[in-house]
């Protein structure tokens, strides 16, 4: 039987054959493609030459089939991870890591790269080609190409172990999330929960074989409404404890994985001549050094903490006034925040939900993209999908009719999907087999599901999440470079959040809300006074929101700048490093670190600060839009040409200054957040 992973895709747009691919296809296809690539690499190594076309383009083409298979696998592993896929993931990871190391640690291949790098000035390369060879050379060096043979052997061992450990970490978080169920059998225990939440809980219980009761899980669309609205404090505590302790001293404990990851990352950094993993990571970031990151975070902390203290005091006073609570806890925060917002702004999520029907929000975001960048989205049904929830869209340029890219959306939680929200480059834009191909981009979220009686009605936060991920998608879709390694989101990690975070600003603007925010039953446009309140909500409890982000960013930097050998207790370390930023008591038996997938199973190690770093960029950039009009085509054209289309072809600060005409002003963030 023909393996669909080993033949050229025949679907429209060259889309992945999701409908044909089965778990049993992956390992045989990967092994065959790796063996074929190795044979081609041997021929490549025998050829003479140090020109760019031979060294970079030809060598890159050799790994295309391997990367194609890996791309399909890891997209599915995140969004539709069946037991069969999970079972083969360690071997897939091991093969891919070994293959990657075989290239990056090969002295002959590196010799070619170095020769090309050394002669780059004589080759009359374009700026993009110059960036590629410099990035490639640096990538080899950062992967250990200059190490002695014994050190290279150790580097291989470290990389292979890290691949397994980060995978184990991620799988433990997913298993622990799916393992928990809060079952409610007494209707009185549903007090405070909106009708939509109760209905969703009843349907969830039915799926779990517990008809007649109501069930809640640890995925965000289930847990967050419970923590927000449930009047039953003991039950809020119960689900908060379950969530905070799901991978800490539990059957899915991640403490050993975490310690080993830190130890290996540190050893790897030292092998390469860096003091810490953070030093290694930040060499390739706008921030450049741990000291600069910590100065940035501490400066924000100094400005935000007094505001955060006022925010928490208001919540504590409200809890005492309404319910006589004198021992305010973390599981009270969301609940009383919602009450306070209703009291001060006369607004809550349930008031907004009817105006945020998912399909309308999606249609609205397509209108925003059209107004800004002149692109159109048309749903197509002849593209293979990996799940019935997935929708596919053809993206075209309105003026020329040219194909811009293929766009996938996947919005609802399920046991086979990891939590959170993300954008994925299914196929990056750029050169492939001698021609420039347009991208295939996916966004995956975990939004409130429709019920039997109601469509999917989003919270304001979910709408902003959709806009955030769509911003990443635009970065991928509008990419206009030659080489895939520099396309779309292949930029410095502390720059990658600019296109995503800037999109969130539109959600708070009347001109944008008027495009899509209509009542799902009456068709009534969202009232002007509600729009005003949404705008005001952008600053509501922002001190606490900023402190929460700083907690994660500072914890991340602490883990990756300290000697792991001194961390005898993950819990004690976390307590100590979050003392300055946590204003409510930590719940006994809970731990953030052991489920901190961003830094221990994702790409954010020593990089979580980038969310706040990019907020400075996006606040400053959006002020530019506001001055000209939020749908001003001239400003949008500049943003598209200098940011979205350029990918990683130049240093991000140069691209930003070309768009903005100046370096970013940190005051823009403080003004927007009301923290100045």
Residue 399 exposed, middle or buried by CB count within 10 Å (0-12, 13-18, 19+):
exposed
Q: Is the pLDDT of residue 349 over 90?
A: no
Confidence of residue 576 (pLDDT cuts 50, 70, 90): very high
Q: Say what the pTM is.
A: 0.89
Q: Is the pLDDT of residue 675 over 90?
A: no
Averaged over 63-72, what is the pLDDT? Answer: 94
Q: Is the pLDDT of residue 94 over 90?
A: yes
Confidence of residue 45 (pLDDT cuts 50, 70, 90): very high
Q: What is the pLDDT of residue 1?
A: 61
Averaged over 404-431, what is the pLDDT? Answer: 94
Instruction: Give the three-state DSSP class for 124.
Output: coil
Q: What is the pLDDT of residue 666?
A: 87
Range of weakest confidence among 118-132, 208-222, 418-432, 662-676: 662-676
Q: Over the stretch 291-330, which tens digit does the pLDDT of each residue have?
A: 999 999 999 999 999 999 999 999 999 999 999 999 999 9
Confidence of residue 21 (pLDDT cuts 50, 70, 90): very high
Confidence of residue 350 (pLDDT cuts 50, 70, 90): confident
Provide the percentage of residues in the chain whose pLDDT is more than 70: 100
Q: What is the pLDDT of residue 105?
A: 93
Nearest to 406 by CA among 436, 434, 380, 367: 380
Q: Which residues of 496-523 are buried (b: 16+ CB within 10 A; e: fewer)?
A: bbbbbbbbbbbbbbeebbebbbbebeee
Sign of CA dihedral 594, 595, 598, 600: positive
User: What are 471's strand-pairing partners?
Assistant: none
Just list the catalytic residues: 469
Whole-number Å distance between alpha carbons of 59 and 43: 11
Confidence of residue 174 (pLDDT cuts 50, 70, 90): very high
Q: Which residues of 619-638 are buried (b: 16+ CB within 10 A; e: fewer)?
A: bbbbbbbeeeebbbeebbeb
Whole-number Å distance between alpha carbons of 324 and 334: 17
Residue 602 exposed, middle or buried by CB count within 10 Å (0-12, 13-18, 19+):
middle
Averaged over 382-411, what is the pLDDT? Answer: 97
Whole-number Å distance between alpha carbons of 576 and 554: 11
Alpha carbon dihedral 104, 108, 114, 119, in 10-degree steps, equals -140
Averaged over 113-119, what is the pLDDT? Answer: 96
User: Residue 641 carries which DSSP code?
Assistant: I
Range of weakest confidence among 382-386, 467-471, 665-669: 665-669
Phi, psi of 593 (to 5 degrees): -60, -40
Q: Is the pLDDT of residue 248 over 80?
A: yes
């Amino acid at each position: 039987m023909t393996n669909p992973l080993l033949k050229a895709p025949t679907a429209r747009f060259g889309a992945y054959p999701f409908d044909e691919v089965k778990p049993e296809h992956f390992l045989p296809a990967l092994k065959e493609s790796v063996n074929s690539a190795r044979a081609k690499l041997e021929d490549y190594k025998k050829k003479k030459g140090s020109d760019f076309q031979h060294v970079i383009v030809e060598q890159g083409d050799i790994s295309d089939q391997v990367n194609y298979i890996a791309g399909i696998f890891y997209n599915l592993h995140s969004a539709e991870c069946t037991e069969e896929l999970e079972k083969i993931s360690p071997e897939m990871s091991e093969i891919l890591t070994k293959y990657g190391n075989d290239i990056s640690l090969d002295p002959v291949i590196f010799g070619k790269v170095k020769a090309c790098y050394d002669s780059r000035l004589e080759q009359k390369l374009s700026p993009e080609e110059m960036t590629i060879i410099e990035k490639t050379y640096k990538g080899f060096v950062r992967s250990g190409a200059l190490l002695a043979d014994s050190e290279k052997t150790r580097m291989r061992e470290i990389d292979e172990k890290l691949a397994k450990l980060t995978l184990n970490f991620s799988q433990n978080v997913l298993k622990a999330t799916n393992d928990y169920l809060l079952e409610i059998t007494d209707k009185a225990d549903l007090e405070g929960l909106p009708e939509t939440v109760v209905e969703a809980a009843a349907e969830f219980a039915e799926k779990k074989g517990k008809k007649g009761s109501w069930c809640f899980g640890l995925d965000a669309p289930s847990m967050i409404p419970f923590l927000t609205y449930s009047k039953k404090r003991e039950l809020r505590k119960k689900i908060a404890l379950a969530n905070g302790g799901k991978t800490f001293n539990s059957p899915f404990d991640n403490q050993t994985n975490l310690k080993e990851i830190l130890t290996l990352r540190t050893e790897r950094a030292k092998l390469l001549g860096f003091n810490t993993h953070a030093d290694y990571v930040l060499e390739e970031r706008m921030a450049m050094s741990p000291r600069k990151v910590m100065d940035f975070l501490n400066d924000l902390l100094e400005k935000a903490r007094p505001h955060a203290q006022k925010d928490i005091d208001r919540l504590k006073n409200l809890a005492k006034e309404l319910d006589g609570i004198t021992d305010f806890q973390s599981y009270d925060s969301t609940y009383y925040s919602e009450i306070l917002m209703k009291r001060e702004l006369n607004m809550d999520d349930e008031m907004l939900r009817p105006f945020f029907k998912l399909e309308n929000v999606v249609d609205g975001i397509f209108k925003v993209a059209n107004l800004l960048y002149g692109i159109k989205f048309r749903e197509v049904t002849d593209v293979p999908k990996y799940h019935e929830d997935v929708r596919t869209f053809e993206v075209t340029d309105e003026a020329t009719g040219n194909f811009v890219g293929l766009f996938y959306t996947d919005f609802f939680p399920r046991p086979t999907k990891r939590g959170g929200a993300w954008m994925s480059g299914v196929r990056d834009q750029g050169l492939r087999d001698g021609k420039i191909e347009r991208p295939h981009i996916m966004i995956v979220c975990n939004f409130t599901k429709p019920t039997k009686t109601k469509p999917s009605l989003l919270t304001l936060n979910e709408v902003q999440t959709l806009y955030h991920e769509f911003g990443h998608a635009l970065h991928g879709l509008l990419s206009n470079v030659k080489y895939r390694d520099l396309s779309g989101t292949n930029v410095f990690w502390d720059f990658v959040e600019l296109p995503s975070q800037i999109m969130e600003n539109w959600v708070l603007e009347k001109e944008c809300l008027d495009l899509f925010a209509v009542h799902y039953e009456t068709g009534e446009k969202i009232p002007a006074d509600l729009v005003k309140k949404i705008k005001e909500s952008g600053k509501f409890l922002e001190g606490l929101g900023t402190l929460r982000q700083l907690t994660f960013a500072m914890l991340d930097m602490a883990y990756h700048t300290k000697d792991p050998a001194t961390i005898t207790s993950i819990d004690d370390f976390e307590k100590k490093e979050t003392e300055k930023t946590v204003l409510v008591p930590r719940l006994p038996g809970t731990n953030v670190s052991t489920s901190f997938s961003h830094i221990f199973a994702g790409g954010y190690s020593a990089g979580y600060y980038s969310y706040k770093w990019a907020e400075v960029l996006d606040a400053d950039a959006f002020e530019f839009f506001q001055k000209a009009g939020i749908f001003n085509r001239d400003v949008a054209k500049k943003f598209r040409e200098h940011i979205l289309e350029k990918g990683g072809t130049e240093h991000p600060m140069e691209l930003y200054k070309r768009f903005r005409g100046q370096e970013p002003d940190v005051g823009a963030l403080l003004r927007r957040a009301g923290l100045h």
